[in-house]
């Protein structure tokens, strides 16, 4: 569902500030139209194979999770909702008892659950519950067999990719300190951010060919295999939405390797090269190791480029992937960026990406959906990347859309997925092309006319 308006930020407060003199940022603080952080459960439960995500929420939260994950049918799903009905403060003891009972039933029936996340939501009766205390209580009851953690996926506090950030941040205190856990005291590379297993394996092969064998991923596939973290850890972010996780890793002494994100042939090469440099790998070796996969990716992208080159694209703020994706589409596929919106702009983590954006691009941070819709109509883009809530009305108005949620659910990182990523943008344009009435020749003309309120 759409996240509610952020309390205290209601109304339009739109001003510009600057990332650099050439990149003004429009800051929006109005109503936003994005999924809440519960959505992250859909990819996190697939990644961490012995974890369970128990949403403590309302029927609405249960519906959101069911429909977001609706395509996946499991005999034993690894997520569920404990529905807390409306109750007053006097009923809180009952709510805690009920939560303990639900968790007890679940863990007795599913002894293979090694990590349980209690995921908070925004209904007022859930906000009254102290889930971190509940997690401590339940950990004392069920540990060490099952460790219990809590984080918030509430729409008041999180947009949808922030659910992963909150989950990983809640887990960091559990990571062994360097020298105590897996990996010992040697300097190790930690890749941070949930990646499909197949992408992890591709990266592991490339790192190994460069002589980097001590590489761990967080989150891990197996929650009992947590990487140790300390001053000898260098970490590479695989996702641009992990601000709090990165902050907590740095507080442990780990150091971030500054890099663009591994989208497209160019981004992936630079991401791997940054890791290579941090570990003293010969740059020529890095280039040689990457060359075959990079060449394959570039050939595959060249085949798709004619469909995207010169097409105008508008990003509504949704996933925090917008800036790296916009960079990829502009530089490797020749798309024209009209506006690139992002829910939050982390200038430090995105410094390399911002430096690669074209000078004239309009960046916006935060949401004010009505104003953004007005600007979108004015920009007359060929393709709009937005959340599900906006896609249907925009399609109805003749505007071609791409659901941003698909970009998070699909394997899109690395060389081998570069063309699949480009395809995600080419496909809606092809679909629109097929819908063009006989006698019309351009895909964008009817859309642009419709959104500008002019006769086609
Ligand atoms: S957490 Fe809040 S925004 Fe998310 S589904 Fe539940 S009620 Fe809706």
Please write the tens of the pLDDT for every residue from 394-441.
998 889 999 998 898 889 999 999 999 999 999 999 988 887 655 554
Would you say the CB of residue 1 lies under 6 angstroms from ligand 1? yes
Which CATH superfamily groups domain 188-289? Nitrogenase molybdenum iron protein domain (3.40.50.1980)
Strand 147-152 and strand 79-83: the pairing is: unpaired
Confidence of residue 76 (pLDDT cuts 50, 70, 90): low
Would you say the CB of residue 257 lies under 6 angstroms from ligand 1? no
**Mean of the per-residue pLDDT values of the chain:** 86
Question: What is the rounded distance in angstroms from the CA atom of residue 280 to the CA atom of residue 447?
Answer: 51
Q: Is residue 449 predicted with pLDDT exceeding 60?
A: no
Residues 129-147 have pLDDT tens digits of 899 999 999 999 999 999 9
SS3 240: coil
b/e string for 386-408 if b means 16 or more Cβ within 10 A? bbbbbbeebbeebbbbbbbbebb
Please give the pLDDT value at position 439.
Answer: 52
For 60-79, what is the mean pLDDT?
73
Q: How far does residue 70's CA lie from ligand 1's centre (Å)? A: 17
The CATH code belonging to domain 301-451 is 3.40.50.1980
SS3 314: strand
Q: Which atom of ligand 1 is nearest to the CA of 57?
A: 6
The dihedral region occupied by 263, where left means phi > 0, alpha psi between -120 and 50, and beta the remainder, is: beta
Question: What is the rounded distance in angstroms from the CA atom of residue 3 to the CA atom of residue 38?
Answer: 11
Would you say the CB of residue 126 lies under 6 angstroms from ligand 1? no
Please give the pLDDT value at position 447.
Answer: 37
Hey, what are 425's tokens?
């943008």
What's the burial of 292, exposed, middle or buried (CB within 10 Å: 0-12/13-18/19+)? exposed
Tell me which of 9-23, 45-59, 316-330, 390-404 is least confident.
9-23
Residues 254-307 have pLDDT tens digits of 999 999 999 999 999 999 999 999 999 999 999 999 999 999 999 999 999 999
Would you say the CB of residue 158 lies under 6 angstroms from ligand 1? no
Question: What is the rounded distance in angstroms from the CA atom of residue 316 to the CA atom of residue 435?
Answer: 24
* Atom 5 of ligand 1, nearest CA residue: 61
Among 5, 54, 60, 159, the mutation site with the greatest number of ligand 1 atoms within 8 A of its Cβ is 60
If residue 433 lies in a helix (H) or strand (E), which one and from where to where? helix 418-435
- Distances in Å between the Cα of 148 and the Cα atoms of 98, 138, 334 are 16, 6, 47
The structure's pTM equals 0.88
Q: How far does residue 162's CA lie from ligand 1's centre (Å)? A: 14
Which CATH superfamily groups domain 37-158? Nitrogenase molybdenum iron protein domain (3.40.50.1980)
Question: What is the rounded distance in angstroms from the CA atom of residue 246 to the CA atom of residue 237?
Answer: 8
- Measured from the Cβ of residue 198, the count of other Cβ atoms closer than 10 Å reads 11
Please give the pLDDT value at position 453.
Answer: 34
For 181-207, what is the mean pLDDT?
86
Q: Is the dihedral of CA 3, 8, 14, 20 positive or negative?
A: negative
Q: Which atom of ligand 1 is nearest to the CA of 122?
A: 2
Would you say the CB of residue 407 lies under 6 angstroms from ligand 1? no
CB 241 within 8 A of CB 161: yes
- Show Cβ contacts of residue 242 under 8 Å, excluding neighbours closer than 6 positions: 164, 165, 168, 192, 193, 349
Q: How far does residue 172's CA lie from ligand 1's centre (Å)? A: 25
Q: What are the domain boundaries of the chain?
A: 37-158, 188-289, 301-451
Question: What is the rounded distance in angstroms from the CA atom of residue 28 to the CA atom of residue 13?
Answer: 6
Residues 298-313 have pLDDT tens digits of 999 999 999 999 999 9
Q: Which atom of ligand 1 is nearest to the CA of 154?
A: 1
Q: Which of 5, 6, 28 is nearest to 17 (CA)?
A: 28
Q: Is residue 336 predicted with pLDDT exceeding 50?
A: yes
Would you say the CB of residue 2 lies under 6 angstroms from ligand 1? no
Please give the pLDDT value at position 242.
Answer: 98
CB 310 within 8 A of CB 383: no
Please give the pLDDT value at position 418.
Answer: 98
Confidence of residue 4 (pLDDT cuts 50, 70, 90): very low
* Atom 3 of ligand 1, nearest CA residue: 155
For 328-345, what is the mean pLDDT?
96
Would you say the CB of residue 84 lies under 6 angstroms from ligand 1? no
For 376-387, what is the mean pLDDT?
94
Q: How far does residue 400's CA lie from ligand 1's centre (Å)? A: 28
The angle formed by the CA atoms of residues 351, 354 and 355, to the nearest 5 degrees, is 85
Q: How far does residue 444's CA lie from ligand 1's centre (Å)? A: 36
Q: Is residue 181 predicted with pLDDT exceeding 60?
A: no
For 347-362, what is the mean pLDDT?
94
DSSP per-residue string spanning 340-364 = EEES---TTTTHHHHHHS-TTPEEE
* Backbone φ and ψ of 291, nearest 5°: -55, -50
- Laid out side by side, the sheet with 51-57 consists of 79-83, 51-57, 115-120, 147-152
CB 44 within 8 A of CB 223: no
Q: How far does residue 60's CA lie from ligand 1's centre (Å)? A: 6
Q: Is residue 50 predicted with pLDDT exceeding 90?
A: yes
Please give the pLDDT value at position 53.
Answer: 95
Question: What is the rounded distance in angstroms from the CA atom of residue 329 to the CA atom of residue 11?
Answer: 32
Q: How far does residue 41's CA lie from ligand 1's centre (Å)? A: 13
Q: Which atom of ligand 1 is nearest to the CA of 37?
A: 4
For 56-60, what is the mean pLDDT?
90
Confidence of residue 389 (pLDDT cuts 50, 70, 90): confident
Would you say the CB of residue 152 lies under 6 angstroms from ligand 1? no
Q: Which of 327, 212, 216, 342 is nearest to 267 (CA)?
A: 327
SS3 299: helix
Q: Which atom of ligand 1 is nearest to the CA of 121?
A: 1
Q: Which atom of ligand 1 is nearest to the CA of 4?
A: 3
Q: Is residue 372 predicted with pLDDT exceeding 70?
A: yes
- Show Cβ contacts of residue 147 under 8 Å, excluding neighbours closer than 6 positions: 114, 115, 116, 139, 174, 223
Please tell me if the domain spanning 37-158 has the same topology as the one spanning 188-289.
yes
Q: Is residue 162 predicted with pLDDT exceeding 60?
A: yes
Would you say the CB of residue 155 lies under 6 angstroms from ligand 1? yes
């Amino acid at each position: 569902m759409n996240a509610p308006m952020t309390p205290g930020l209601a109304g339009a407060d739109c001003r510009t500030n600057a990332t650099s003199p050439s990149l003004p940022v429009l800051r929006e603080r109005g109503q936003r139209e994005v999924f809440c952080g519960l959505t992250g459960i859909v990819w996190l439960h697939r990644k961490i194979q012995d974890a369970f995500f128990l949403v403590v929420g309302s029927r609405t939260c249960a519906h959101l999770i069911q429909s977001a994950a609706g395509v996946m049918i499991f005999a034993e799903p690894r997520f569920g909702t404990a529905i807390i009905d409306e109750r007053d403060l006097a009923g809180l003891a009952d709510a805690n008892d009920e939560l303990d009972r639900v968790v007890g039933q679940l863990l007795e029936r599913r002894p293979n659950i090694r990590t349980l996340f209690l995921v908070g939501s925004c209904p007022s009766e859930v906000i009254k519950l102290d889930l971190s205390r509940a997690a401590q209580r339940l950990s004392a009851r069920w540990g060490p067999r099952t460790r219990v953690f809590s984080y918030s996926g509430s729409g008041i506090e999180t947009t949808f990719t922030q659910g992963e950030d909150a989950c990983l941040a809640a887990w960091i205190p559990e990571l062994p300190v360097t020298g105590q856990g897996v990996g010992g005291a040697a300097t190790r590379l930690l890749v941070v951010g949930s990646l499909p297993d197949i992408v992890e394996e591709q990266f592991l092969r490339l790192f190994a060919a460069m002589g980097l064998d001590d590489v761990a991923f967080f989150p891990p596939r197996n929650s009992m295999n947590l990487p140790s973290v300390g001053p000898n850890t260098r970490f590479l972010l695989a996702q641009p939405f992990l601000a709090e996780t990165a902050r907590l890793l740095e507080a442990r002494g780990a150091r971030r390797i500054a890099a663009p994100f591994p989208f497209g042939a160019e981004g992936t090469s630079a991401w791997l090269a940054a890791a290579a440099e941090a570990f003293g790998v010969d740059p020529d070796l890095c280039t040689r190791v990457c060359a075959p996969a990079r060449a394959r990716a570039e050939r595959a992208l060249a085949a798709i480029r004619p469909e995207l080159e010169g097409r105008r694209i508008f990003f509504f703020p949704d996933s925090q992937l917008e800036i790296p994706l916009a960079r990829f589409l502009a530089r490797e596929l020749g798309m024209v960026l009209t506006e690139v919106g992002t829910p939050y702009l982390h200038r430090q983590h995105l410094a390399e990406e911002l430096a690669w954006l074209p000078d004239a691009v309009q960046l916006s941070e935060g949401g004010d959906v009505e104003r953004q819709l007005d600007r979108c109509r004015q920009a007359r883009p060929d393709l709009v990347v937005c959340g599900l809530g906006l896609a249907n009305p925009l399609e109805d108005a003749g505007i071609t859309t791409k659901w941003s949620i698909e970009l998070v659910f699909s394997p899109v990182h690395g060389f081998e997925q570069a063309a699949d990523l480009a395809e995600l943008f080419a496909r809606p344009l092809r679909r629109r092309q097929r819908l063009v009435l006989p006698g019309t020749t351009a895909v964008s003309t009817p859309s642009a006319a419709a959104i500008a309120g002019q006769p086609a």
